[in-house]
Amino acid sequence: MTDGARERLARAQAELLTALLAGGPSPGGFDERLLRVEARSLLAKRRGIVAMLAPEAVDALADRFRPLFDEYALAHPRVAGSRAREDAAAFTAWARDRGALPPVKPKRWWRRTAS
């Protein structure tokens, strides 16, 4: 195999994932409708996994969960090697930062935790 084959494939695959996950330009030659179907499907899968891992955020955000998650996801595509739990934690932190979720109350050292 030539290094050229690997390089050409790397470019093409990166271009496709950037388009599907991060709102990058559509790579040439693909069916635009199918690109949209695929992008939606990948987003729905990711949203479903985060919803399963962060049910309290889903409850708190209610109807706002989906649009907020979709905005977060487009701006923060999953990085290779990252874990789903990290994705869920990053989303809740992002939602907190923009005031959509209440801030985490710092634990007071004198509070009795066992009640």
Partner 1 sequence: MGAIDRLGVGIGWRAEIDLTVERLPDVDFVEVVAENLHVEHLPESILLLRERGVPVLPHAVSLSLGSADPVDAHRVEHLGSVAEALGAPLVSDHVCFVRAGGLDSGHLMPVPRTRDALDVLVANVRTAQANLPVPLALENIAALLEWPDGELTEGQFLADLVERTDCFLLIDVANLHANARNLGTDPNRFLDEIPLERLAYVHVAGGVENDGVYHDTHAHAVLPEVLDLLGELRSRVDPPGVLLERDDNYPSDTELAGEMAAIRAVLAGRG
Catalog residues that contact partner 1 under the rule CB under 8 A.
Answer: 1-2, 4-10, 12-18, 20-22, 28-31, 34-35, 37-38, 41-42, 45-46, 49, 77-82
Distance, in Å, from the CA atom of 93 to the CA atom of 101, rounded to the nearest integer, reads 9
Residue nearer to partner 1 on the CB measure, 29 or 106: 29
Q: Which of 47, 55, 52 is nearest to 78 (CA)?
A: 47
Residue nearer to partner 1 on the CB measure, 5 or 114: 5
Q: Which of 63, 62, 61 is nearest to 95 (CA)?
A: 61
Residue nearer to partner 1 on the CB measure, 9 or 75: 9
H/E element holding 49?
Answer: helix 32-53
Query: Minimal distance in Å, beta carbon 5 to partner 1?
Result: 4
Task: State which amino acid sits at residue 11.
Answer: R
Query: Minimal distance in Å, beta carbon 59 to partner 1?
Result: 20
